[in-house]
Structure formats: C-alpha cells, structure tokens
Amino acid sequence: NPAAILLTGYAQQEMLGQPWLERFVSPDERAQLAEELDQAGMLENREVKSQDQQGEELILQWNFVPFYEGPDLKYRIAFGYDITPLKRVEREIIRLNEELEAKVEKRTRSLKDSNEQLAKAYDNLKVAQQTLVESEKMASLGQLVAGVAHELNNPISFVLGNVHALSKYSDRLRT
C-alpha cells in the first residue's frame, strides 16, 4: 500500500510477495508475534518494532483482524500506525524524568545534610547558652557573697577595731 511505501522507503516491487512478518517485524519479535496471532487471532494496539530501508527504527502500532471462510482463517487484515515520533517523545520524557529524579534526590540529600548541620549548630548554641547562663549565675552568686562578706566585715572590723579602746577604757574604770 502507498502508506507503507512512504513509511518504509521500499519500492512496491521490493515488498510484493514477501511475508508481512519478514518485512515489517524485527527478527527478535517475529516468533512471539506469530504465536500471539495464532493463539488470539485478533490483536489490538500491538506495538511492533521495525526498520525502514535506511535501517532507522520504526515503531508501529498494529491491529490485526482475521477473516474466516467457514471455520477456516482465510486472511488477516492489519492496520498499522506509525507511533515512532510518539515513542521518541516518550523516551525523551522518561530520560528527562530520570534526570529530574536524580536532581531531586541530589537536592534532597543536600537539604538533609544542611538540616543535620543546622541541628548540630542549634545543639551547640543551646549548650553555649546554658554555659553562659550558668556563668552569669556564678558571677551573680559571687557578687552576692562578696556583698554579704562586706556587710559582715564592716561591723566585725568596727568591733575589733574598738576592742582595744574598750579594753583600755575598761581598765581605767577598774582602777
């Protein structure tokens, strides 16, 4: 048919008389497709890999409809659609998706590492804050103790400083 000639690049004379499976199905898929056709009779939306005359990959989506003459299969009609451009786009989308997933995974790891570093820094800051609070408490306690000591020292110094004078005064009174 003219569409097959345009699609594959083969001349009509090259295609006449050749079995369909040999012309349009890659060698690694022929046996499996022949078996599926024998078992099911009719196939819908079956993707088949093929090559054009230049060796470029073609991906065709085929529908196979059997026609019977009585109980015997007379022939099959096959309708094929070239889905090569769609498959190329699909492959590109899959490749881009895989790249994106790798980038997301890398970024997630980076964020996780950053989060762990922030958590460590936060813990260190909490320890430093606690140390500062304790230092401030000790400094305040030291000032308080110094103040109390000063307040006790003044009267004691006054008493001790005047004990000698009182002793002399008391001696004078006794005499």
List CB contacts of 20: < 8 A, sequence separation 6 or more. 78
Question: Under DSSP, is residue 55 helix (H, G, I), strand (E, B) or coil?
Answer: coil
Query: How high is the pLDDT of residue 30?
Result: 85
Its pTM stands at 0.56
3-state secondary structure of 12: helix
* Residue 40 pLDDT: 81
Q: DSSP readout, 83-136?
A: -HHHHHHHHHHHHHHHHHHHHHHHHHHHHHHHHHHHHHHHHHHHHHHHHHHHHH
Q: Considering only CA atoms, which of 53, 51, 48, 50 is closest in space to residue 14?
A: 53
Which tokens in the block code for residue 51?
A: 């090559």
Query: Average pLDDT, whole number, for the chain?
Result: 89
The identity of residue 168, as a single letter, is: K
**Per-residue pLDDT at 174 exceeds 90:** no
Indicate the pLDDT class of residue 150, thresholds 50, 70 and 90: very high
